[in-house]
Amino acid sequence: MQLSQTVKLYMTKEQQSLIKATMREYINTVNNLVSIAINGISIVKYTTADVKANLPSALTNQCIRDAKSIIKKYNKLAKYNKDIKAVATIPILRKPCFYINNQNYKVDGDYIKFPVFVNGKSKRLSVKTKMTTDQKTIFANNELGTMRIVYKNNKIVAQIVYKKKESAYNNIGNVMGVDLGIKCPAVSYVSGGNIKFYGNGRKNKYMRRYYKCLLKKLQKGKHIDAIKRINNKEQRIMRDIDHKLSHDIVKTAVAHDVKTIKLERLANIRSTTRTSRKNNHSLHNWSFYRLSQFIEYKAKLAGITVEYVNPAYTSQTCPVCGHVHHANDRNYVCKCGFYIHRDVLGAMNICNSTEYVGDSNIRHAA
């Protein structure tokens, strides 16, 4: 899996001004390419020869790749927004930065070497850094990916992506089914019988409603900056909640010797078919998606496989006799005598399900 490390840079004055100029030129180049594509000219076949930029060709190439991926995301989002009758804003990079692929930079002792452009020519800079012993070990033992030169807390730093070797999977172990919901954010069921509830659905709902109310008031007054700030704050809080939930779920899995976590595969977010109660609000799917991603990420680090199962009928099927019917209220009672809390039923059926639909969740709009 891909992780990254942030490295402090100790640049000379000259290096700093060259790097700053490169960062600005880089985002301008990407933004230009994006605007060309949005105005209807395809950039799919663009090469460095089609792009005029004061950048080394390695960086110009990266600009083209970045612009293409921005356009791809934008097109998906535009389609999604059309469905909810909103307009997707055109993506613009504002924070100066640049990306270099692993062929074009080198970590060498305490230095990082990469090209910039000086007087129409590519020039290799060798920038002093301060790496921790851990970072040096990581860089020496893992396959390195893209390096990003970005601002962090107003300082220019290098973020180096690397592929972490995952722990070897061991399939002898327990299986855990996790049911994600709105009223109850998550319930886990481990083969063998352990049940655990996570998070506080009522609190989350209250938070969402509180911010929605606040935003409505601000929108009436057209306080654009305040709206943005509140929106970001809400997103941050929800993200933190998902981090905590996923952490707790994986911790429980590790404690119960779980080797496989099963989650429901989310339906296509543009789809209107109601395959489960969770699709009633397509926006909720975005938060289920994020939480699944967090669980997947943390599980992988712990050497646990994540599998996705078909969500159809997981909250309606009796695990004892197989009868399918809706739960009344919070309890599921079957005519065969079996009864259980509705949310536990979901986790139990997910745990027992063999209707696999892959090892990866949907990517935004499938």
In whole angstroms, the minimum distance from the beta carbon of 324 to Zn ion comes to 10
Q: Could you tell me the sign of the dihedral formed by the alpha carbons of 33, 37, 40, 41, in that order?
A: positive
Give long-range contacts, CB 8 A cutoff, 24+ apart: 30-36. 30/63, 30/66, 30/67, 30/70, 30/93, 31/92, 31/93, 33/63, 33/64, 33/67, 34/67, 34/70, 34/71, 34/74, 34/90, 34/91, 34/92, 35/90
CA torsion through residues 159, 162, 167, 169, sign? positive
Q: Which is nearer to Zn ion, 224 or 321 (CB)?
A: 321
Kindly list the residues in this chain that would bind Zn ion in the complex (CB under 5 A). 318, 320-321, 323, 334, 336, 338
Q: Whose Cβ is closer to Zn ion: residue 41's or residue 336's?
A: 336
Closer by beta carbon to Zn ion, 201 or else 319:
319
First to last CA, the chain: 22
Considering the complex, state which of residue 236 and residue 323 has its C-beta at the smaller distance from Zn ion.
Answer: 323
Give min distance, CB of 348 to Zn ion, in A: 12
Taking the complex as a whole, the smallest distance from the CB of residue 355 to Zn ion amounts, in Å, to 19
3-state secondary structure 79-108: HHHHHCCCCCCCCCCCCCCEEECCCCCEEE
For Zn ion, the closer of residues 37 and 318 by Cβ is 318
Question: How far apart are alpha carbons 44 and 237 in whole angstroms?
Answer: 38
Instruction: Please give the Cα distance from 344 to 189 (Å, whole number).
Output: 7
Smallest gap from residue 182 Cβ to Zn ion (A): 26
CA distance 200 to 241: 10
Closest CB to Zn ion among residues 131, 345: 345
Task: Provide, rounded to whole angstroms, the least separation between the CB of residue 243 and Zn ion.
Answer: 37
The minimum distance between CB 351 and Zn ion, in angstroms, equals 17
160, 320 Cβ separation under 8 angstroms: no
In angstroms, what is the minimal distance from the CB of 265 to Zn ion?
25
